[in-house]
């Protein structure tokens, strides 16, 4: 069984890493159609947003005033590493495939990871796993759709 502090960091980092990175990729692709820009965006997310989320978890855990310093730092490091690593996995399809294909593969990869993790968490909580998967995938698909259309709008307005 995973320690609570590690579970907090891992689950937050994985979820944020997937949704933020896929949303950014889809938006940047729609707006620029540039592989270089999309890779640059992923690297930015992997570094800047991973640190930001880690600090956010750190301060959130401190504000609860019920965790030890060690537990807080475990959550902080787990958040950073999981966000950083999961975000970087989205570069692999970009290195292997044309941009449009890589975007589709990345969306499928992200939704699969999110679905599997949602199923796992729901089973642990004795909740309906399919409802949890559906709920989380609907949110992710909303982010993907909105960022796609925002990217289209930016590309057509300022491109």
- Tens of pLDDT along the chain (159 residues) come to 779 999 999 999 999 999 999 999 999 999 999 999 999 999 999 999 999 999 999 999 999 999 999 999 999 999 999 999 999 999 999 999 999 999 999 999 999 999 999 999 999 999 999 999 999 999 999 999 999 999 999 999 997
Q: Which residue, 79, 80, 84, 77, is CA-closest to 21?
A: 84
Give pTM, 2 decimals.
0.94
Distance CA 55, CA 44 (A): 16
What tokens appear for 18 in the block? 């997937």
- Cβ distance 143 to 19 under 8 Å? yes
Distance CA 140, CA 61 (A): 25
Q: How far is CA 37 from CA 46, 85, 94, in A?
A: 14, 19, 11
């Amino acid at each position: 069984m995973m320690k609570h502090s590690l579970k907090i960091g891992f689950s937050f980092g994985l979820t944020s890493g997937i949704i933020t990175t896929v949303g950014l990729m889809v938006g940047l692709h729609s707006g620029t159609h540039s592989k270089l820009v999309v890779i640059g965006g992923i690297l930015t997310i992997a570094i800047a947003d991973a640190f930001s989320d880690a600090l956010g978890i750190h301060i959130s855990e401190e504000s609860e005033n019920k965790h030890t310093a060690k537990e807080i730092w475990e959550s902080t490091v787990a958040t950073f590493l999981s966000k950083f690593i999961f975000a970087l996995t989205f570069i692999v399809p970009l290195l292997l495939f044309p941009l449009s294909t890589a975007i589709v593969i990345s969306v499928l990869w992200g939704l699969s990871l999110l679905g599997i993790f949602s199923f796992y968490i729901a089973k642990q909580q004795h909740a309906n796993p399919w409802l949890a998967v559906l709920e989380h995938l609907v949110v992710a698909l909303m982010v993907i759709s909105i960022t796609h259309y925002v990217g289209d709008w930016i590309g057509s307005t300022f491109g």
